[in-house]
Amino acid sequence: MVTARAKNQLLDAVARCLAVACLIAVIFIAFRRFNGADTPFLAFSVIGAAVVHFANRPRVIEATITAVLASGLGIAYVGSRGAFGQYPASGLVGTLAFLGLASMIILGWKACRSTEALRPLLLATLCPMLVVLTNVASAAAIKFQPRVFDLFLYRFDGSLGIQASFLAGRWFAGSHFLANLCFLISAALPLAEVLVFLLFVRGQRMPANPMALFIVTGIAGLAFFQLCPATGPAHAFGAEFPSYPPPFQPLEAVRADDVPRSAMPSLRGAWALLIWWSLRYSKNWMRWLATGFLVLTVLATLGLGENYLIDLVVAVPFAVTAMAACTGQHRKLIAAGALVLAWLLYLRFGLPVFTLSPLGAWMAVLATVIISLLVAGAKNPSMLRGRIPSGGGLLTRLMPPAPPN
């Protein structure tokens, strides 16, 4: 009997070590393959691992070993001709990313020795894996829908009487500080998600499990991308963005095989809104930070040419749809989801037939936002405080929140 138990424990340890090794290997390979230090979105997601590690207050010797490992990883990255970015604060972001990779190794080593230690490792690797899988899935989906509808979204924004993305882009061109600040805030979205995860597992009351919420949002967003995909004005119009808004062109889908999709709707806008929503019951200073993060992220997606204004408008009912799906509120899910679907169908098929007047376009935009807010507030979802609902699967078993204070 004792021998059988020992064998089971050995098999469990071997399986755990293999799973940990595969998980970390995928992230390391992706980091090097995509030049993680030159890819701010991936770099910030990896920095989240260091935040998780050091939030648990490791001993001095463990922190020292992590720093030494980070230095070695940085040297190996440079030695393998890994690229560093030219974006603002790229040196600091890249350095902290290596600290995050080193933290994954330490957390992985601890997870190999104890099942209990899998929890912080899962939290540390969730965002990097989400970033990697989202980008891989987005790139693979281009083969199924190689054409984009930027001209349609550009036409609708024009019907509002203002090209908001071009206007914000000119603001950025006139203020490098504003452009750099908004760029870093937008790129730090994965790190912000990790901070929300940490608050949740430590007992912060939230409308839904944020881990499930952000995963559902990513999956649903990629599915909606196939209905009315777009790349954003910076990619669609090149050198004309942001100073020279081009005249309207005949509405047709344009082939764009190697350009990443960023709409429709805006995933970054939806994620930023859900971060704000998740922190609405936190302390005042957290809510103010979340509000500032939301505003600057929205401004960044416009000014950097990643989204059109209508992408961000549709992101509002899309965020309500994701929240309703994760809180089991089926009526809200149907209402908000139908609003998203109606916009996608209109922009792809209805716009060439029926173009709204400026007044009609603004009324449609305002109605969308107001209806989304009414649907979201129709009935307060059950709050979670230090508790993940039953049926949470792997997240429930490996990441139970800390007991509330």
Would you state the pLDDT for residue 395? 46
What mean pLDDT is predicted for residues 306-316?
A: 94
Structure tokens at 174: 């006139």
Express each pLDDT in 228-287 by its tens digit.
899 989 988 888 888 888 888 888 888 887 788 888 899 999 999 999 999 989 899 999
Structure-model confidence comparison of residues 297 and 1, the more confident one: 297
pLDDT band at 349 (very low <50, low <70, confident <90, very high): confident
Helix extents (H) in 279-351? 284-303, 309-327, 330-345
Would you state the pLDDT for residue 188? 92
pLDDT band at 384 (very low <50, low <70, confident <90, very high): very low
Q: pLDDT over 90 for what percent of the chain? A: 38
Would you state the pLDDT for residue 24? 81
Structure tokens at 143: 């083969």
What mean pLDDT is predicted for residues 24-44?
A: 83
Would you state the pLDDT for residue 383? 43
Helix/strand/coil for 43: helix
Q: The whole model's pTM is what?
A: 0.86
The yes-or-no verdict on residue 343 having pLDDT over 90 is yes
What mean pLDDT is predicted for residues 299-304?
A: 94
Would you state the pLDDT for residue 16? 67
Would you state the pLDDT for residue 290? 94
Would you state the pLDDT for residue 249? 83
Would you state the pLDDT for residue 3? 67
User: How much is the mean pLDDT over the chain?
Assistant: 84
Express each pLDDT in 215-235 by its tens digit.
999 999 988 988 889 998 998
Residues 6+ apart with CB under 8 A from 289: none
pLDDT band at 351 (very low <50, low <70, confident <90, very high): confident
Structure tokens at 281: 């019951």
Q: Is the sign of the CA dihedral 37, 40, 44, 49 positive or negative?
A: negative
Residues 6+ apart with CB under 8 A from 148: 229, 230, 231, 236, 253, 254, 255, 256, 259, 261
Question: In which residue are the tokens 């806008």 written?
Answer: 269
Least trusted range by pLDDT, from 15-29, 121-135, 226-240: 15-29
Would you state the pLDDT for residue 294? 95
Domain boundaries, the chain: 2-130, 142-398
Would you state the pLDDT for residue 402? 42
CA–CA distance, 163 with 168 (Å, rounded to integer): 9
Say how many residues make up the chain: 405
pLDDT band at 202 (very low <50, low <70, confident <90, very high): confident
Least trusted range by pLDDT, from 33-42, 53-62, 192-201, 228-237: 33-42
